[in-house]
Amino acid sequence: MKHLLSIESLSASEIHEILALAKELKAKRGHDTAKPLAGECWGLLFAKSSTRTRVSFEVGIRELGGDSLFLSSSEIQLGRGEPIEDTARVLGRMIHGAVIRTFKQSDIEIFAKLSGIPTINALTDEEHPCQILADLLTIEELRGSLDGVEVAFIGDADCNMGRSWIWASARLGFGLRLACPELFTPPAELLARANAPVTITGDPEEAARGADILYTDVWVSMGKEDEAEYRTAQFAPYQINDRVLAAASPKAHVLHCLPAYRGKEITAEVFEAHANAIFQQAENRLHVQKAVMTLLKR
Ligand code: CP
Ligand code: NVA
């Protein structure tokens, strides 16, 4: 693996390798002598806000023996119109790896190609691979295995998280149900390309029926703030609440990539009842990302 640009570009065995190493690194945290990033400085180029991704990468890079530089797009020339092509060719001569959060998937692909350094997608409008890897690790921990799991994603199925679930289901073969308004159905072209075992419905209870995992994400993703009012109205019936949870398997877990908006995509009651799993999921960002960076150096 040279880069982590998407789940689409990974194989099932690469995903399992990341998850296995993440478990090992999680167990060894605090007494691991391997420092695969020793002597390196990685750049975090962020064009959108972040709590989990930024902190887990900064801490993870340090734990792997490296240093990091946080480069907000608003503070570097990229934010004033310097092309990504030039930014990539400059930074590729100075830093040893890049973690990029931005809008266009093509920007991280261009960066990876022209910089020549390991590049990680820390969220684009298309995918959020680091998050889905943490989600998969959490499900393995909660259930013992991903085999036979049925996941119901309720809400904005066409956002980066919904799309990442589609690719995870395509690569690993688990069942995925998407519940979303018709206008927020992922594009037919993407569904055909992924060819995943996905069902799509407009009814959240139907999607939840017997599911092992209920998953949601914000209704207004970063960059969509202008559509907030419209989206809030469209997604109102797609909340994870007691009624939707009652349709799921009695042992179902509720996961959320965070940040969470209580009273919108999830009720405060359901969120708090499943907070342990949700924050375990957040912690797992650190472990999977350390695994990814370690594998990029092998
Ligand atoms: N889930 C996630 O990526 O969180 P941040 O936006 O805080 O990084
Ligand atoms: N879909 C959300 C994910 C946040 C981690 C967004 O893009 O804002």
DSSP one-letter string for 73-105: TTTSGGGGT--HHHHHHHHTTT-SEEEEE-S-H
Q: Considering only CA atoms, which residue is closest to atom 3 of ligand 1?
A: 53
CA atoms within 13 A on the CB side of 291: 24
Between the CA of 83 and the centroid of ligand 2 the distance, in Å, is 24
- Give ligand 2 pocket residues (Cβ under 6 A): 123, 128, 159-161, 217-218, 221-222, 257
- Percent of the chain at pLDDT > 90 equals 100
Between the CA of 258 and the centroid of ligand 1 the distance, in Å, is 6
Could you tell me where in the chain the CATH 3.40.50.1370 domains are found? 12-127+285-296, 131-282
Please tell me the CATH superfamily of domain 12-127+285-296, with its number.
Aspartate/ornithine carbamoyltransferase (3.40.50.1370)
Nearest to 15 by CA among 207, 146, 181: 146
pLDDT at residue 236, rounded to an integer: 98
Which bound ligand lies closest to the C-alpha atom of 164?
2
pLDDT at residue 177, rounded to an integer: 98
Who's near 290: CB < 8 A, 6+ residues apart? 22, 25, 60, 63, 64
pLDDT at residue 54, rounded to an integer: 98
> Could you read off the pLDDT tens digit of each residue along the chain, which spans 298 residues?
999 999 999 999 999 999 999 999 999 999 999 999 999 999 999 999 999 999 999 999 999 999 999 999 999 999 999 999 999 999 999 999 999 999 999 999 999 999 999 999 999 999 999 999 999 999 999 999 999 999 999 999 999 999 999 999 999 999 999 999 999 999 999 999 999 999 999 999 999 999 999 999 999 999 999 999 999 999 999 999 999 999 999 999 999 999 999 999 999 999 999 999 999 999 999 999 999 999 999 9
Euclidean distance between CA atoms 12 and 32, whole angstroms: 27
Please tell me the CATH superfamily of domain 131-282, with its number.
Aspartate/ornithine carbamoyltransferase (3.40.50.1370)
pLDDT at residue 47, rounded to an integer: 98
